[in-house]
Structure 1
Amino acid sequence: MSSARSVLIVGGGTSGNSLAVLLRRAGVEVDLVEVSSDWNVHGSGITLQGNALRVLREVGVWERIRERGFGFDALGMIAPDGTVLHVAEDLRTGGDDLPATLGMRRPELQRVLIEAVRASGARVRLGCSVESLEQDGDGVDVRLTDGTSGRYDLVVAADGLNSATRAAIGVPDEPEPTGMGIWRVTAPRPAGVERTDLAYGGPAYIAGYCPTGEDSLYAYLVEPARDRAAVPPESHAEEMRRLAAGYGGHWTEIRDSITDSSQVNYTWFHRLLVEGPWHRGRVVLVGDAAHACPPTLAQGAAMSLEDALVLAELLTTHDAWDDALLTRYRDRRVPRVRMVVENSVRLGAWLMEGARDADAPGLIGRTMAALAERP
């Protein structure tokens, strides 16, 4: 592969950061632009399953992730009153040498990846994005919103669910709400919480929590999507406490800690899968810009990380960065991503429908078994 190759990555989230590190390791020149001036160091928590951890190990950050997160190998099913109904051993989808699941504060994950991007030598510009793209058969001329410009062999759109780059290159697909909304908060970890526990039913569709460190967890409540404008931000803590009041066990302590509305966020679940090509010329989509799903399988970040790994592998092992190579990337990813998106949406639909005969454990088991295979 020519050592003169250059890539612009638009978006400094999980997939964009990981791709930057993987490409720099192979000697590719990388510029990364991120519209957020704080490089997205915010959010509550994230659940990373083994196949996500496998990619983070390839990126070279596993040891820091392990130190800053909380790994575990079981999933608890509880009644709304906190009674433990069943504890299942989780499949280690990343291999036997990685935990089945690791909970982590989302800002900590971002900080680890930022450290890796900085150390890689990628050039980073914050508070900046793409103003215009003009491409020919050999490259892409890019003008940025800070007034600078450059020419690249490839532009990667890693700018998320509502990707402006996706729209700019004429990909018509847009995210669709699934009908669910989720409240999330970071909270102190009660003694005895050492795994994710999920309660189905009660005031919400799902009430769950995930340990994210020795002293922290993040908790979430999933409900029918509501008009977000009707819930003023200053009342978010009160509203989440109200929903949490229907749950017992560790939820009693978690609920009492929800006092700061600035630490509570409410978002809708969305579905997206770009059905046509994931590229136009020399501009290609990765991560949430190409696909997104409800977190009912906790696989959103994992699918984005796998995109970065597969795209980096193809780019760094082939001389021709052409239509055939970018089509190969998309074709390799779509069957796996489609399974995750459709099964994540199906699990949510069963909850909204109150489907009592749904085989949720079977669906989850089959999906996780498939994800144990390398992408």
Structure 2
Amino acid sequence: MTAVRKVAIAGTGVAGLATAIQLAKAGVEVDVFEAKPEPSALGSGISLQGNALRVFDALGAWDDIQHAGYPFEGLHLRAPGPGAPVVAELPDVKTGGPDYPAAMGMPRRELTRILLEHASAAGAHLRFGAPLTGLEQRPEGVEVFVNDESVGTYDLLVGADGLHSAVRELVGIETKPQPTGMGIWRAFVSRPAEVVRTELYYGGPVYIAGYTPTGEDTMYAFLVEDAQDRFGVSDEEATRIMLEESRAYDGPWNDIRADLEGGARAHYTWFTQHVVPAPWNRGRVVIIGDAAHSCPPTIAQGAAQGLEDAHVLTELLTTKDAVDEALWAEFHARRIPRATAVVEASVQLGQWQLDHNRDADAGGLIFGIAQQMAQPA
């Protein structure tokens, strides 16, 4: 017996689709509502740590994920300037355990495609162009409104609708993502043969220059700078800025610049941070993933934390008899301290760079969080 029989989910990001897959596999009737008119994945590539891969295995999607991504071990640090010498080779903690790679890069579109296919195969109903516009809670459930029309009453509504969550606003949660002071340029480019893991360059004209392999022939490159109003620039200007800011970096950056000059597009976003204080639920409505917490990608745990939210929530919903205070108490105890630790560490790493703090123990902080994440959520 499950605690729910019929669930609505807002959002088709990793947290929403992971929730849909697990609940539908357990025989729950699942309706997923996505405001966008069609499947899409902003950005270029994504870095996934081992604890994210462990959740994909629980979903039954691991075989497809590993065939579509690029697994790797370790992290290289390079110096800016001629030759881009490797100055440190750092091992990774296998946060998913010995059965999974330490990390994996993959194109965001491929990840979205795979999860959508698994959600459909499990029996979840997917609706696009369906923004959630209202809800009414009653003792027996929550009535959900899409495009201002009722689509039915559900035992639970899961708001996995991202940073600018409509569900979060509809239930009156005021905590919202706040800028951290950093912005990032990203571009999806070809992978030189020498790039077999994430490599980071500290110093030079930006805080971090780096890249992560996402496939046999692809990777995504990024530059982290002070947050600026870059959102109105043309595609040509975006490419020009990324080209100019990357000229201090040698090695594989020469290939990246060739791709940018050949038409690869540059995208810009700001880093944000927030953690909604307990509780994440209001009655029979709960928020997870980026709706509940966000952080800079300085330790690449954002997607993993959303997946863990989904994994813990669905475990409880499919093993408990009721959606009650005991269920929510266990959910919050298992998720909020862990997500908070990731957000605080990610923000601290960025703040040390903003403050030009050369004495900070960044390696120790990263290793400590990785050890925590190696313990299942």
| TM beyond 0.5 | yes
8 Å contact 2:278–2:332 — kept in the other structure? Answer: no
SS at match of 1:161: coil
Look up the match of 2:282. 280
Tell me the amino acid that sits aligned with residue 154 of structure 1. Answer: L
- List alignment gaps of at least 5 residues for structure 1: none
TM-superposed deviation, 1:261: 6.6
Tell me the amino acid that sits aligned with residue 38 of structure 1. Answer: E
TM-superposed deviation, 1:163: 0.4
TM-superposed deviation, 1:146: 7.0
TM-superposed deviation, 1:255: 1.3
Look up the match of 1:247. 249
Look up the match of 1:202. 204
Deviations 1:187-219 (A, max 9, x none): 000121101100111111000100000000000
Look up the match of 2:39. 39
Aligned length: 375
Q: 1:140 aligns with which of 133, 139, 142?
A: 142
Distance across 2 between alignment mates of 1:281 and 1:3: 14
Look up the match of 2:73. 73
8 Å contact 1:6–1:29 — kept in the other structure? Answer: yes
Distance across 1 between alignment mates of 2:293 and 2:115: 21
Look up the match of 1:231. 233
Distance across 1 between alignment mates of 2:265 and 2:109: 12
Distance across 1 between alignment mates of 2:249 and 2:351: 22
Distance across 2 between alignment mates of 1:148 and 1:254: 49
TM-superposed deviation, 1:373: 0.2
Alpha-carbon distance change, 4 to 240 in structure 1, aligned in 2, over 3 angstroms:
closer
8 Å contact 1:282–1:322 — kept in the other structure? Answer: no
8 Å contact 1:197–1:210 — kept in the other structure? Answer: yes
- List alignment gaps of at least 5 residues for structure 2: none
Distance across 1 between alignment mates of 2:310 and 2:165: 16
TM-superposed deviation, 1:259: 3.3
TM-superposed deviation, 1:4: 6.8
SS at match of 1:327: helix
Distance across 2 between alignment mates of 1:245 and 1:3: 56
Q: How does 1:57-136 map to 2 (within 5 A)?
A: 57-81=57-81, 82-136=84-138
Look up the match of 2:12. 12
Distance across 2 between alignment mates of 1:281 and 1:352: 40
TM-superposed deviation, 1:136: 1.2
Deviations 1:214-251 (A, max 9, x none): 00000000000001245334311111111111101111
Alpha-carbon distance change, 4 to 359 in structure 1, aligned in 2, over 3 angstroms:
closer
SS at match of 2:144: strand
Alpha-carbon distance change, 24 to 230 in structure 1, aligned in 2, over 3 angstroms:
closer
Instruction: Confirm whether residue 221 of structure 1 aligns to residue 223 of structure 2.
Output: yes
Alpha-carbon distance change, 146 to 137 in structure 1, aligned in 2, over 3 angstroms:
closer
Look up the match of 1:266. 268
Look up the match of 1:349. 351
Fraction of identical pairs, as percent: 50
Q: How does 1:122-201 map to 2 (within 5 A)?
A: 122-145=124-147, 147-201=149-203
Distance across 2 between alignment mates of 1:214 and 1:95: 24
Distance across 2 between alignment mates of 1:310 and 1:341: 18
Between 1:242-251 and 1:303-312, the stretch displaced more is: 242-251
TM-superposed deviation, 1:262: 7.0
SS at match of 2:80: coil
8 Å contact 2:9–2:31 — kept in the other structure? Answer: yes
Tell me the amino acid that sits aligned with residue 165 of structure 1. Answer: V
Instruction: Confirm whether residue 312 of structure 1 aligns to residue 314 of structure 2.
Output: yes
SS at match of 2:261: coil
Instruction: Confirm whether residue 298 of structure 1 aligns to residue 288 of structure 2.
Output: no
8 Å contact 1:10–1:156 — kept in the other structure? Answer: yes
Distance across 1 between alignment mates of 2:134 and 2:91: 50
Deviations 1:343-366 (A, max 9, x none): 000000001111011000000111
Distance across 2 between alignment mates of 1:287 and 1:4: 20
Distance across 1 between alignment mates of 2:136 and 2:99: 46
8 Å contact 1:14–1:301 — kept in the other structure? Answer: yes
